[in-house]
Structure 1
Amino acid sequence: MKIHLRSSLLCIGLLVLTACQSTSSPSQNNSAKPHEIAALFNQSTPEYKPETEANRTDKNIDSDITSDSKPIVYDDLWQEVIANLAFDIVPTPRLQKRIDWYLKQPDYLLKVNKRAKPYLFHITQKIKQKGLPMDMVLLPFVESDFRPKVHSSQSAVGIWQLMDSTAYHFGVTTDEWYDGRQDVLASTDAALDYLVYLYQRFNGDWLHALAAYNTGEGRVKKAIRQSKKQGKQGYFWQLKLPSETADYVPKLLALSYLLQAKHPKFKVPKLPNYALTSEVDFAQRFDFSVLASLTGVSKNQLHRLNPGYLQHQSAPEGPHKILLPLTEKQLWQSEFFQRYFSQTYTVVKNDTFYGLARRFNTSVNTLMALNNKQTTLLKVGEVLKIKKAQPLDNLMLEYQVSPYLAQEEKKPVLTMEHEYIIQNGDSLWEISKQFNVPVKDLLTWNNLKSSSLLKPGKKLVLHLPRPAKTPKKPEPKKFLSELEQLVKPNTSP
């Protein structure tokens, strides 16, 4: 199989943008800023081996880009994703099996895209900022069908299926208040940093890195050693790996191939190429009921968009960020944002204080005082404060003052998604009895009718009570010692 990275117009020039977006670091003493990690990614340009068994995906992604190149602007996000998929794939019989599976479910991407819709633009931006192949945006589809609350049998959680230890090492916390693995944006930062780490550990081989993401770094290294002992090159396709992992990488490649090939039987969704949601950091502890009243967004919708929060309140020590179902323009125009968040304006040619005062419904004196101006002189490019934010009141409900509200606020039942494989002789009634859930819930969760036939081998989704036990945070010493080799500053003269 021939597979390598095609040049992408979006892989350079965007790394500097990470400075305005915070990304979790592996540890306090050994932090690597996003642009530093992305730089590490681009430093590695191993030799490409073009042969039928090759599993190299390490062609220098910047090699064909000139200084005059300008990224094409797409109105549809999926079209931009397709245009920038970087793996150049030639199908083989082994890969064809996965391609055929997707073709038997031509609506797969349409269905999963409904769950991904609020987050997908943000994820593509993070991928571009880190200089990663755009194919990585497909990983949550392969990992979890983009279900933020899904838990695997191995205790991996979220759209990226992060283990607790991996999430912890990359700055994602888990406690009784908050599970960052279910926070789509926070877990994306951790997962992408982990992929960068694995890419470096496997000398720029993306297939090895993806296999390690699924089954663990140690197991893939062991398989490579065994392959080389047998006189082979250690390519991914030559490795003896667990069947799940051996099938995992072809799933991603098959999805990328179908999108690039624009197969007429495989349906591609449409999605506006801008953020449909906006993240706001309230910088203090909040209650979902108060935020619902403040923003006009229902409490249920806030919980759906922010599945990382396990309670009705944020944790005392944070995080205190919330994703709102508002575009950037809608957020700026919203009453609560205009009242409680300061606004700025960048001066352009021919602007005057008088004109700006009329435009923003204020007075010249107010604008000058807000910006500590002694004269009406304005400079092009100067940033002016337009409106001073009002102090944001306490965002927590005072239950001791309002016992009625305390009675109304019921503690949410924490659930997790569980996959059940249908066995011979199973019935909906028997499954509902086994897991102590109503049959009507089984029907709703799986879009079934009471007359639907259960096919052995198919999967059912169940929403079961989440275990109350908080995962114990492991000691990060051994793992971080490997990270230190990648992010340690160069101290040589």
Structure 2
Amino acid sequence: MIVKKISLVVTALFSMSMFAQETAELSKEIKPEVKLSYLDSIKSTFKKDDMAARVDSLWMNELVSLDIYDDLTKDIQTINKDVTVDEELPTELLKQRLAAMNAKSPFEIEYNQGLENVIKSFLKNRKKSFSRLMALSEYYFPIFEETFAKEKIPLEIKYLAVVESALNPKAVSRMGATGLWQFMYGTGKQYALKIDSYIDERSDPLKATIACSDYMTRMFNVFNDWELVLASYNSGPGNVTKAIRRSGGKTGYWDIRNHLPKETQGYVPAFYATMYLFEYHKEHGINPERAVVKNFETDTVAVKNQMTFKQLADLLDMPQSQIQLLNPSYKLNVVPAYHGEQHFLRLPKDKIAAFVSNEDKIYAYAQYESLNKTIPTRLAAKIAPKAKPVREAVESSKEIQFYKVKKGDNLGAIADRYNVNISDLKKWNNLKSNAIALGRSLKIKSDVDTAAKAVKEPKSIPSIDKNTDVAIASAEDNDKVSVQTVEYVVASGDNLGSIAKKFGTTIADLKELNNLASNNIGLGKTLVVSKIVTEIEEPVSTAIASNSVDSFKKKAPSAKSMGEDYYVKKGDSLYSISKKYPGVTISDIKKWNGIKDEDIKPGMKLKING
């Protein structure tokens, strides 16, 4: 009996092991099908490059960090040259080192107590900062030196970028000075640096350095002294000439220093102190941090189509922060595509090979992404539409419909069309505000009958939700006229001139339409960029049949309109208006309206008295 039981147990265990083995073999044979994303399918066809880029993420954070800039800028502005600093550096040894620096430099580097105090202050408080700055310098200094050498400018000027921006191309001062060399907006334009909604070349290391070189050359021709050139770079040439006059005609920096602005008094000493620490960092135990990316390890490639840094980072398997570091002049992390202009992208050399080998596939993916994903709200504000709202037939399904946002749309209008709440629209589409981007597909949970009714029975043009971030067109009706306005939300980098150019109007018209007393406009302000007043007759019920959503038909002036008012539209002239009324001349219109010249503006009311 016991033997029989043991036999049964052994048989059962053997059967279980055989079943487990068969199950394992079966699981090996049946593999679940893995669906690749479009990105993965594109990348799987890429030609691979043997060299792989290795980027230290911690060091990348150092490159884009602004904390050194903030600390160093505060130091230079507040440093007191007359306060003795307790730091181990014998005065005689410092004098010897300064004399050695002076021997190989066109600058007049000489010892004084103020300079010693600044050097000791940096040594005491900024050792760690200079260790990080020296890592950054391995990337930027070769760019500076190559440009300065071509223009016969002292290579020591490279240290000025440390004082100005702590070698951060994204540094922006309280006054708006931007980039490695801290150019103000007007100065940047003066030296032909491109500044628009997408690009700010004040942050381009190469182009900004060329502009700096140009400035230095011009100022040296004026002052014939490099120390005065440095002082003029900080405070402007006007302050330097005033200091020369106040000092009785002396032309040495140390002779006129006390007559310069307070910040400039510490500016040149800070420049010399920076030069000293870079020259003698080993003697003071300052160990430069490791620099992973060097300038000679990068190259540029022309980009033919618009694409985002995110798309490039995904395709090339590299951190987006590295693309930002190498291409700081692109403000929105987008490489734009302008008609007739080329734009370049700087990448590590091994990534250049991957880009060029797979260029067509990269552009195809970028286009696919652009068609299937929403664009950033800030970007939508800059490419805002000018035309009237245009509605599109809804792609319907059994339970959920999708609506593609077109020119002039807003959440209120779309919610009204589908008889749903704005809050529901925001919930279904994970919207945090009322802003909707042009081209985005919105999910709408309503029945099919409601959707069909929305297409067949268009309502009148809706009022506008003022919280939207894109330019929008609105209409206000009364018994006689329809007033349509196009609005634009001011974005970073905008000014009245650029907005006027974008919408084909003038600065004067913008100021009049918005009751502006000056050219100053605040970020986020909503501007009326055009206002068109037209007479209306009645709603046109058949408009949707011709793919139009204009709910009103404009009344054309005729002989019967004599004695009525005419509202000037964009593109009108006195000649074109007179032709609309038989027997009416330009002289008649000017006489009836007290017009001395032919200057008329959109929205102006003209009397046609016949």
Normalising by structure 2, report the TM-score.
0.41
Which deviations, in whole Å up to 9, do the C-alpha atoms of 1:350-392 show, x marking residues without a partner? xxxxxxxxxxxxxxxxxxxxxxxxxxxxxxxxxxxxxxxx898
Query: Which residue identity is paired with 1:321?
Result: F
CA contact (8 A) 1:144 1:158 kept: yes
Q: 1:43-63: per-residue Cα shift (whole Å, max 9, x none)?
A: xxxxxxxxxxxxxxxxxxxxx
Query: Corresponding residue for 1:125?
Result: 146
In the alignment, does 2:235 pair up with 1:215? yes
Distance 1:128 1:311 in 2: 33
User: Could you say which residue in structure 1 is the equivalent of 2:120?
Assistant: 100
**Displacement, 1:277?**
2.7
Within 5 A, what are the aligned runs for 1:181-260? 181-202=202-223, 204-227=224-247, 230=248, 232-239=249-256, 240-260=259-279
**Out of 367, 374, 377, which is 1:406 matched to?**
374
Give the conservation status (yes or no) of the 8 Å contact 1:122–1:275: no
CA gap of 1:205–1:83, structure 2 versus 1, over 3 A, is closer
Residue 161 of structure 1: aligned partner: 182
| Contact kept in structure 1, 2:118 and 2:270, CA below 8 Å | yes
Structure 1 unaligned spans of 5+? 1-80, 341-389, 414-465, 475-493
Alpha-carbon spacing, 1:263–1:212, altered in 2? closer, same or farther (3 Å): same
8 Å contact from structure 1 (residues 284, 395) kept in 2? no
Aligned equivalent of 1:299: 320
Quote how far apart the aligned CAs of 1:162 are: 0.6
8 Å contact 2:378–2:491 — kept in the other structure?
no
Measure how far apart 1:393 and its partner are. 4.6
Counterparts of residues 45-444 of structure 1 (less than 5 Å): 87=107, 89-104=109-124, 105-202=126-223, 204-227=224-247, 230=248, 232-239=249-256, 240-261=259-280, 264-265=283-284, 267=286, 269=288, 275-282=296-303, 284-317=305-338, 320-324=343-347, 326-327=348-349, 330=350, 334-338=353-357, 393=363, 396-398=366-368, 402-403=371-372, 405-406=373-374
SS at match of 2:345: strand
Q: Partners of 1:289 and 1:149 in 2: how far apart?
A: 19
Deviation at 1:210, TM superposition (A): 0.7
Structure 2 distance, partners of 1:285, 1:122, is: 27
What residue is the counterpart of 2:494 in the other structure?
470
Contact 1:86/1:134 (<8 A) preserved: no
SS of the aligned residue for 2:266 comes to: helix
Paired residues, number = 283
RMSD over aligned Cα atoms: 3.7
Deviation, 1:198, is 1.4
Distance in 1 separating the partners of 2:271 and 2:117: 12
Distance 1:163 1:180, change over 3 A: same
Distance 1:411 1:472, change over 3 A: closer
Aligned counterparts of 2:295 and 2:220: Cα–Cα separation in 1: 29
CA deviation after TM superposition for structure 1 residue 472, in Å: 7.0
The change in CA–CA distance for 1:314 and 1:115 in structure 2 (over 3 A counts) is same
Question: Residues 57-99 of structure 1: CA distance to partner in whole angstroms, max 9, x if unpaired?
Answer: xxxxxxxxxxxxxxxxxxxxxxxx9997654623211211211
Letter in 1 for 2:374: A
Q: Distance in 1 between matches of 2:203 and 2:153?
A: 22
How far residue 195 of structure 1 moved from its aligned partner, in angstroms, is 1.5
CA contact (8 A) 2:301 2:346 kept: yes
Secondary structure of the corresponding residue to residue 207 of structure 1? helix
Contact 2:102/2:108 (<8 A) preserved: no
Q: Provide the C-alpha distance between the structure 1 equivalents of 2:331 and 2:178, rounded to a whole number of angstroms.
A: 14
Whether the 8 Å CA contact 1:116–1:146 is kept in 2: the answer is yes
Residues 145 and 274 (structure 1), Cα distance of their counterparts in 2 relative to 1, 3 Å cut = closer
User: Do the aligned partners of residues 288 and 95 (structure 1) sit closer, same or farther apart at CA in structure 2, a change above 3 Å counting?
Assistant: same
Distance 2:188 2:295 in 1: 28
1:107 touches 1:266 (CA, 8 Å); kept in 2?
no
Specify whether residues 172 and 469 from structure 1 end up closer, same or farther in structure 2 by C-alpha distance, changes over 3 A only. Answer: closer
Aligned residue type for 1:208: L
Instruction: Tell me, in whole angstroms, the C-alpha distance in 2 between the residues paired with 1:268 and 1:87.
Output: 27
In 1, Cα distance between the equivalents of 2:337 and 2:351? Answer: 26
**Cα distance in structure 1, aligned partners of 2:497 and 2:164:** 23
- Compare the two structures and name the one with the higher helix fraction: 2
Which position in structure 1 is the counterpart of 2:540? none
Post-superposition offset of 1:394: 6.3
1:284–1:320 contact (8 Å) kept in structure 2:
no
Identity %: 26
Contact 2:196-2:493 within 8 A present in 1 as well: no
Instruction: Please give the alpha-carbon distance, in whole angstroms, between the structure 1 residues aligned to 2:225 and 2:271.
Output: 15
State the shift of 1:468 in Å. Answer: 2.2
Q: Secondary structure at the match of 2:318?
A: coil
How many Å apart are 1:473 and its aligned residue?
7.8
- Residue aligning to 1:349: none
Question: In 2, Cα distance between the equivalents of 1:225 and 1:195?
Answer: 22
Secondary structure of the 1:91 match is coil
Aligned to 1:355: none
Q: Which has the higher contact order (CA 8 A, sep 6+)?
A: 1
